[in-house]
Amino acid sequence: MAVGLILSAFRRALGQLGDRRFLRVLLLGVVLALVLLLGAGGALLWLVAAALGPETTLPLLGPVSWFDDLLSGASLVVIVLLSAVLMVPVASAMTGLFLDDVARAVEARHYPELPPASPPGFLAGLRDTLGFLAVMLGANLLALVLYLAFAPFALVIFWGLNGFLLGREYFTLAASRRLGRAEAIALRRRHAGTIWLAGLLMAAPLSLPLVNLFIPVLGAATFTHIVNGCQRPACP
């Protein structure tokens, strides 16, 4: 039953991917993620340059004045590495900020009989987004150690971790629009297995370049369907 609900939700979300509202949220999420990553990379390099100064003394080499040029070349490498590791978590969090747009598009097409939702205000949504971003970034950075220590299982760890996080947060955000946060968390706990399975379905394509950028929007739509299904008595 759980698998059927998840696959049905994902199939309907995939069928609506061309919706203009979906594409708008996708574009906003990716642009904001890129801006944040560029800013983080630039700030990191600025701190290194400020700490070391324009001229740096290196062991055995003595003073070197080309360190600024080295930092300029390294900036591109730093940004590429940051984007490879953090682009999806950041894009997921940014998409969470616009989840209500995706949910309203889903409900307009598939659940027109529902009354208007009462999503959290902007400040509450921003707080949730920043909290989600902190958890996603922290967990994925810490997981780098596990990836190195258990290299043969790195992909499984990546899927399991991000599946849990995506399922937990996206379900809570989608359910809070209609139930309030406290009841949304209670519903999430009652259906934890279904939610993790759905999160795993979202996490598996995260390892595919370019495809992974669509996952946050698909996840928001999929969990809107799942929340609707989990409020019915037959939900697993």
Greater pLDDT, 60 or 150? 150
pLDDT in tens, 94-144: 667 788 889 999 999 999 998 888 877 767 777 877 787 788 878 877 888
Does residue 105 contact residue 16 with C-beta atoms inside 8 Å?
Answer: yes
Least confident window among 7-16, 121-130, 142-151, 192-201: 121-130
Query: Model confidence at 49, in pLDDT bands (50, 70, 90)?
Result: low
Instruction: Work out the angle between the directed axes of helices 192-203 and 181-190 (0-180°, nearest 10).
Output: 90
What is the residue type of 204? A
Secondary structure of 138-160 as H, E, C letters: HHHHHHHHHHHHCHHHHHHHHHH
Q: Helix or strand or coil: residue 58?
A: strand
Cβ neighbours, 10 Å, residue 80: 12
Residue 205 has pLDDT above 60, yes or no: yes
Report which DSSP code applies to 53. -
User: How do 56-58 and 62-64 pair as beta strands?
Assistant: antiparallel
Greater pLDDT, 173 or 35? 173
Least confident window among 48-52, 150-154, 159-163: 48-52
- Report how far residue 144's alpha carbon sits from residue 119's, in angstroms, rounded to the nearest whole number: 35
Residue 11 has pLDDT above 90, yes or no: yes
Does residue 199 contact residue 162 with C-beta atoms inside 8 Å?
Answer: yes
Q: Helix or strand or coil: residue 208?
A: coil
Whole-number percent of the chain with pLDDT over 70: 72
| Cα-based angle 194, 199, 201 (whole degrees, multiple of 5) | 100
Every domain of the chain and the residues it spans: 2-31+87-230
Residue 25 has pLDDT above 70, yes or no: yes
- Report how far residue 167's alpha carbon sits from residue 165's, in angstroms, rounded to the nearest whole number: 6
| Cα-based angle 196, 118, 101 (whole degrees, multiple of 5) | 65
**Mean pLDDT across the stretch 148-152?**
86
Q: Helix or strand or coil: residue 218?
A: helix
**pLDDT attached to residue 66:** 47
Does residue 200 contact residue 158 with C-beta atoms inside 8 Å?
Answer: no
Least confident window among 33-37, 52-56, 120-124: 52-56
**pLDDT attached to residue 195:** 93
Residue 179 has pLDDT above 80, yes or no: yes
Residue 236 has pLDDT above 80, yes or no: no
Residue 1 has pLDDT above 70, yes or no: no
pLDDT in tens, 206-222: 777 777 778 888 888 99
